[in-house]
Amino acid sequence: MSNTEGAVRPEQLLVYYPTPVLQKVATLATVEDLAKDDLVEKMFKVMNDHSGVGIAAPQIGVSKQVCIVRMLVPGEMKELCHGDDPKYQGIVMLNPEVSGRGDLEEEVEGCLSCPGISAHVHRKSWVVVKWTDEVGIPREMRFGNYAARIVQHEVDHLQGLCIINKLSPVDKITNAKALKVYDAMANRSRHAARSRQGR
């Protein structure tokens, strides 16, 4: 998830909609998966480089159920964060499951993988999340307010959903120009896939 102020786009590991990995359910993750290619380090790097408040593994092209939720208050939930350095003030979650939800609230969201798009998204005001931490310990915690929104956004990514899938009719009009670009990209991807199959 991004702040909606449009951070600079360094070209590196981040993948953009409509890349297929963003549109499928990610496979369950193990602690061993985190060591492969420094997955967590790469996720933190991309999230920090793009001024994100959360990131999911599919956003760097890895179809595993791993996400990071940034803690926005310094020292908040420090014992669960990846490290003491402020750039690592985030909770790494494997296979998160969301339940026990509060009332729906609407806020504008952006997405690192959908630059130029902003959507009015309804999310539960609080959620209970069960996940496995990065050393294999099962965790369960209630998240409220903005942290709850970040968790739900990242879990959507793990289920193959982006904010483009949640655009209201009004959002589609507001984002019409950017959506044309994404439609053109999707058409090129489909055409390229058909060309490869025809070989």
C-alpha to C-alpha distances, 73 to 40, 53, 58, nearest whole angstrom: 21, 12, 26
Mean predicted lDDT score pLDDT of the chain = 86
Contact 167, 175 (CB under 8 A): yes
3-state secondary structure 67-115: EEEECCCCCCCHHHCCCCCHHHCEEEEEEEEEECCCCEEEEEEECCCCC
**Alpha-carbon gap, residue 199 to 196, rounded angstroms:** 5
The pLDDT tens digits for 88-137 are: 779 999 999 998 778 999 999 999 999 999 999 999 999 999 999 999 99
Quick one: the chain helix, strand, coil %, rounded to 5? 40, 25, 35
pLDDT band at 191 (very low <50, low <70, confident <90, very high): low
* pLDDT range class, residue 85, cuts 50, 70, 90: confident
Please, are residues 102 and 123 in contact by the beta-carbon 8 Å criterion?
Answer: no
Position 196 confidence tier, pLDDT thresholds 50, 70, 90: low
pLDDT value of residue 4: 43
Catalytic residue list contains 134: no
| Region label for 108, one of left (φ > 0), alpha (ψ between -120 and 50) or beta (otherwise) | beta
What pLDDT, on a 0 to 100 scale, did the predictor assign at position 50? 93
- Tell me the three state secondary structure of residue 50: coil
The span from the CA of 105 to the CA of 124, in Å, is 6
Active-site annotation holder among 11, 97, 105, 154: 154
Q: Is it true that the peptide bond before 18 is cis, omega within 30 degrees of 0?
A: yes
Helices (H) and strands (E) in the chain, counts: 5, 7
Angstrom distance (rounded) from CA 72 to CA 46: 17
Domains of the chain are: 20-197 (3.90.45.10)
Q: What is d(CA 6, CA 148) in angstroms, rounded to the nearest whole number?
A: 22
